[in-house]
Structure formats: structure tokens, C-alpha cells
Structure 1
Amino acid sequence: MSPRAGNAGPHTLAFVESPVQLLNVLEWAHAHAPGVGLTLVVLSPIDPMTRGQLRRMSELAREEGYEVRWEEARGGAAAPFQTIGGLAGLLRRASRIVLGDPFSRYVQLLLTITRARDLVVVDDGTATMEFVGQLARGERLVRWHRKGGRPAPRDLIFAPVSSSARRKLTPGERRRVEIFSSMPIADTPEGVTVTTNDFGWTRARFGPPRITKGADMVGTSLVETGVVDGDRYLEAVQSLARTHGATRYFAHRRETVEKLHRLAVETGLEVVRPDLPLELIARRGPVGRTILSFPSTVVHTLPLALAGTEVRVAVCDIDPAWLTQGASPRASGFLSGVTGTARGVHRLSAVSLA
């Protein structure tokens, strides 16, 4: 048993499905509960790049002394039932649950089992901003990039579970809810405790980085989620790289191989597929003096992770003309809000495309 897992005190169970979620659980433990009896449960996705980053993050968590339990949660039709059945006992005994994605149907299903009176939501990127707003307004939990309109039949079938999860994530006399975030929280739900993630663990564990003269660019999955047109995105990347002298493109873990191959050929950028979340990659270095990004989580997190260095984070707005016809009606306003609320970044106007 790991040294921290055997400590006395309330046992904490954390559920993560992405490398960033796991990183933010480590940040929460560093800031709030050093020495806590923490078990990290990785609900492993199918995507190979995400799995690779999660393996590396799991190694870091074990080095910190935490117990990590890897679940092949999507390894076939029977996997969800086996995973939930195997975790039921842990869920009922845990006094605190930490989760990274309140929109996840997997997590929502697990929340129906727990008796924990202490729930913590750590960042899952910009989705946290939408979650907090929906919780404050008492709305159903729906990801921001999902198209508006009537719920799909699958949503209706799952609605009772989603409603139960929303109730579990609402604080009350017998339940404490905390949101641990580096994102700007405008509307704090009544009774919810909001604490700041300043990436203290990342800064203590890595760096400071060696800074190069050029610029690096951060990729986004806005094309993959159907928000931004693929051709427009490539044109914007090419224009930004040419204007700012970028030489490397750090791919988002969800970007497709075909898109990245085309991007490398058409822009001449060196495509890098990181083995860890970008906050750790940048902190370890080497990293460009300027980091270029479109609206995404990193415009909020990188200035914190790179605090005390001379690296400048610059964010380029998304022109509404780049959006696909199937993009959610909320997409443009949400992306503008992500950029407008970022602190410590240099804001660039949208790239003008021919």
C-alpha cells in the first residue's frame, strides 16, 4: 500500500478520465490535503494518445505516494458493468469524492452510488465554466459545444441519472460541494465553496524552463468537436505562424492524425504530440518566448504554470465566420468569454482570412 493511502482520516476517491483532470487532482491534493488518503481511479478512454498521457500522469501520481487504480472502463460492452460493480464498495465507503468531469455519464452514474458528504469538482478545462453556470441556474448538465434544441433520445433515457447527479452536486445541509478551479467563476452557486488552483504543485515539481527565442503554437480540438471549419482553422494557423515566427505546434490530444499531417505539410510547423499535459511540458521546457493559442483552457492555465518566467501567452480570437453550420448557437459567445476572462495574456485580433 502506498504511504499516503494508508494514512488515517477520511478516505478520498478521485475519478479521472483525462490527463488534465488527473493533474488537477494532484494540484488539489497539494494545495488542500497533503497526506490525504487518496485513491485515484482512472476510467480509461479508448483514444491512444489520451491513454498514453494518462499512463505518464499515473506514474507521477504514484511517485507522489498516491494509490492509482486503472480501470478499462470502455473495454467492451460488459466493461461498464464490471467497472461499476468493482467500484461500488469503494464508492459507498469513501467520505469524499473528487471528480474531473461532471458532464461525464460514467461519473454521473457513479455518483448515484456514493454516500459521500464531501464532493469536489476539479477543472476539466473550459467546461468547468459552463458547469458552474448551469449549476447556479439549476439547468440540466449539457456540454457547451453540444448543439442547442431538443434533447436526443439517448439524453432522455439518461435524464433521471443526470438529474440525480445534479442533485448530488448541489450543496445542502448534509453535503459540502467545492469547485477547485483556475478558471474565472462569475456565478457561484449558493453554498458552493470555490477555491483557486494556482498550479503550485506544477511550479514546485518542474522548471523553471529554458526559454527559446521563437514562438510555439498550441493546438485545439475545435475542429474535431464540430465547432470550427477545418479549412478555416488551417488557414488561421498558417497565418499566425507566419506572422509570429512560430516553429512548433503542440497538438491537442484529440486532434486527428489526418488533420495534423495536413497541417504539417501546409504550414511547415513541427507537430509535437506531448506525452504530458501542456502545463507540465511548458514548465519543463524548452519553450518559446511566446505561446500562441486559440480560445482554450491553456489561456487560463499557462500564465499560472509559467508565473515568474518571461514567457508571454497570446490568444487569437475565433472569427464567427470560421464556425461550422452545425456549431452550437452558444459557441461564439462562449469562446469570446473564454478569451475575454483570461488573465495575464496578450489578446490578438482574429486572423483575417482571404
Structure 2
Amino acid sequence: LSPTDPMTRGQLRRMAELAREEGHEVRWEEARGGATAPFRTVGGLRRLLRRAERVVMGDPFSRYVQLLLTITRARDLVVVDDGTATMEFVAQLARGERLVRWHRKGGRLSPRDLLFAPVSAAARRRLTPEGSGSGRGRRVEVFSAMPIDEIPDGVVVGDNDFAWTRARFGPPRLTSGADLVGTSLVETGVVDGDRYLDAVRALAEAHGATRYFAHRRESADKLHRLAVETGLEVVRPDLPLELIARRGPIGRTVLSFPSTVVHTLPRALAGTPVRVAVCDIDPTWLTATASPRAQGFLSGVTGTARDVHRLAVVSPA
């Protein structure tokens, strides 16, 4: 289900190439290409979804994924996602809550949310395991590198240790400096843009970072300003960062704010001398419209990370 923004599309194209090289068949759906695209996509996938015994999906918060879940009769559902949203998804499923992304939690429902609510509720029910009597039960698995504390009854948790990534790429060539990993917290309305830029500058100066690996959802305007004002070389990866880092070259120190990579990079780079360091988000950086849960959630992302070095919150000049 192809996205619309160019950077994410590019990464997905490259991942599709890797999947084909590994012997998998890939079907590319322009699922968001105009007003009629959803109808074409759903119509084209309906028969496959109804016949499938197992369905493997990515982002369970995606309205598209939730819509397709209402079509399938598969008794084996697998969520594969190494994003921070996975932690929230499993916790919400365990508590029987409405599925909503963490950075939107606490806000008012939009008219679109209200219209889509029955579909979302149906998807949540589909993602709830059923009893296995007479072989008619529904199995639900979450496969992720993220820490999962609240495990819903009946849900199977699989651990992504990045064994394929380590076997397929690397070991990487290391540079002498540090690299900084970007985040889309500004784009999602959680962190103030000016405060973020100041923090990036201070972090880069303190640790001698020379490159900034952009998140695929960071805006071009923000990245241009960041490059001009900090002097960092902005790199827009054509593959997920875990694969880029494993291929190299990569800095001996990788700096990050709270995000997925503080959980995934140590696994992808296991066996190398690369140090992953994380800098917490200062509460004063949050926007006035940030979710009330933002600070606690981001602290949890950092606090549950293993094999990372904790940095003091930077104090921009």
C-alpha cells in the first residue's frame, strides 16, 4: 500500500527490491493515488484477503490496514512493526481501548474519526485473539524489536533480533566522528521547531557530529534550515536506518532523541564497537498542543531501551 510522500515511497521501493531478491512476490498498490484509488485497492485485494489463512500487516493504526482487516477471514494475524507505536498499540489492546496514536491521545475526535469509529472498533476486535476450540480460534502475534510489557491475553509476542539484517549487510566501515539521527516530533506537533533546532545544534557541537540522518517524514524546509544553521550534512537514507547503518559507513557514536532507533540500532549493530546514545526531550521543548501523554511516553521509550548510553538533556545556548 504505497504512501504519498516521496521519501517513504523511495524507501519502500528499495525494500521491495530487497524482498524480490529474497524470493518474495511483491504487489505494489497505489492505494492513495486519487479519490477512486481506495475502491480499486480494496476491490483488487478482497478475494486474496478472504482466501488468506495468514495476514501479515504493518502499522495497525493505519485506517487502511484497519479497513482491510474487516474484509479478511484469516485465523492467523501477525503485526510486524518496530515503531514506537507498537508499544502503545499492544497496551491499548490489552486495556480494550480505542486504537489511537500516542501523540494524538487526549485530543478531541475529528469528524473523520467519528465516521471511521465503527471500522476501527471492528479492526480492534479482529486483533483480539479468540479461543482455539475445534481449530476455529484466531491467533494474533506481534513481531517487534520494541519492548512490550502489557501483553494482552492470548497474544503471541515474537522478538525481532535483526538476525537477517546482520547476515545480509556489514559489518560496517566506521568513521571517527559521530552521526545524529533525526526525528519527526516537530512534524507531529509534539516538539517546537525552534527548540528542536537549538537542541540539534547543541548536541552536534557537544559530540562532534557531522552528519544528520533525516527521518523520512521530516519536512524539506526544516531540513534545509537545519543544514544552513548547524552546518550538519543532511542525509536522506534510501533504506531504513538500520540497514544503512549496517552497510556503513557509520559513526562510532550514533546520537538520537527518543525514537525507534534506540531500540533497533543496538540490535542491528550488535558485534560492532558503535555506541548508541540517546538524549531525552526536555519538557520545555514540547508544544502547547502536545498530547498530555507525550513526555511520559517519550521517557518510556528511552527508559526501556537496552544497550544505549543515556545523555544529559542538552541546554541550548
Residue 80 in structure 1 maps to residue 33 in structure 2: no
What residue number does 1:273 align with? 236
Write out aligned runs for 1:238-317 (5 A): 238-317=201-280
What residue number does 2:184 align with? 221
Q: Which runs of 5+ in 2 are unaligned?
A: 132-136
Letter in 2 for 1:96: R
Deviation at 1:353, TM superposition (A): 2.7
- Corresponding residue to 2:4 among 46, 49, 58: 46
Deviation at 1:236, TM superposition (A): 0.3
Deviations 1:231-268 (A, max 9, x none): 00000000000000000000001111110010001100
Write out aligned runs for 1:156-167 (5 A): 156-167=114-125
Write out aligned runs for 1:119-268 (5 A): 119-173=77-131, 174-268=137-231
What residue number does 2:292 align with? 329
Letter in 2 for 1:171: P
Residue 118 in structure 1 maps to residue 76 in structure 2: yes
Deviation at 1:186, TM superposition (A): 0.7
CA contact (8 A) 1:103 1:141 kept: yes
Report the Cα distance in structure 2 between the residues aligned to 1:124 and 1:344, rounded to whole angstroms: 17
Deviations 1:203-229 (A, max 9, x none): 000000011110000000000000000
Q: Residues 129 and 313 (structure 1 numbering): CA distance in 2 closer, same or farther, change over 3 Å?
A: same
Letter in 2 for 1:304: R
Deviation at 1:349, TM superposition (A): 1.5
Report the Cα distance in structure 1 between the residues aligned to 2:275 and 2:200, rounded to whole angstroms: 18
Q: TM-score, normalised by structure 1?
A: 0.87
Report the Cα distance in structure 2 between the residues aligned to 1:247 and 1:186, rounded to whole angstroms: 36
CA contact (8 A) 1:45 1:74 kept: yes
Deviations 1:59-107 (A, max 9, x none): 0000000000000000000000000000001001110011111100000
Q: Any idea what SS the aligned residue of 1:88 has? A: helix
Q: Which runs of 5+ in 1 are unaligned?
A: 1-42
Deviations 1:256-282 (A, max 9, x none): 111001000110000001000000000
Report the Cα distance in structure 2 between the residues aligned to 1:107 and 1:337, rounded to whole angstroms: 26
Report the Cα distance in structure 1 between the residues aligned to 2:80 and 2:139, rounded to whole angstroms: 14
CA contact (8 A) 1:147 1:326 kept: no
Deviation at 1:149, TM superposition (A): 3.8
CA contact (8 A) 2:179 2:213 kept: yes
Report the Cα distance in structure 2 between the residues aligned to 1:88 and 1:122, rounded to whole angstroms: 21
Q: Residues 135 and 147 (structure 1 numbering): CA distance in 2 closer, same or farther, change over 3 Å?
A: closer
Letter in 1 for 2:66: Q
Of the structure 1 ranges 152-161 and 271-280, higher mean CA displacement relative to structure 2 is found in 152-161
Q: Any idea what SS the aligned residue of 1:69 has? A: coil
CA contact (8 A) 2:29 2:41 kept: yes
CA contact (8 A) 1:241 1:247 kept: yes
Deviation at 1:124, TM superposition (A): 4.4
RMSD: 0.7
Letter in 2 for 1:303: P
CA contact (8 A) 1:121 1:179 kept: yes
Count of residues in Structure 1 that have an aligned counterpart in Structure 2: 312
Deviation at 1:147, TM superposition (A): 4.7
Letter in 2 for 1:291: V
Of the structure 1 ranges 321-330 and 140-149, higher mean CA displacement relative to structure 2 is found in 140-149
Deviations 1:260-318 (A, max 9, x none): 01000110000001000000000000100000000000000000000000000000000
Q: Any idea what SS the aligned residue of 2:27 has? A: strand
Q: Any idea what SS the aligned residue of 1:178 has? A: strand
Residue 103 in structure 1 maps to residue 45 in structure 2: no
Letter in 1 for 2:296: G
Deviation at 1:47, TM superposition (A): 0.2
CA contact (8 A) 1:100 1:124 kept: no
Report the Cα distance in structure 1 between the residues aligned to 2:105 and 2:198, rounded to whole angstroms: 25
Report the Cα distance in structure 2 between the residues aligned to 1:147 and 1:261, rounded to whole angstroms: 30
What residue number does 2:134 align with? none
Report the Cα distance in structure 2 between the residues aligned to 1:160 and 1:254, rounded to whole angstroms: 29
CA contact (8 A) 1:248 1:271 kept: yes
Letter in 2 for 1:97: V
Q: TM-score, normalised by structure 2?
A: 0.97
What residue number does 1:21 align with? none
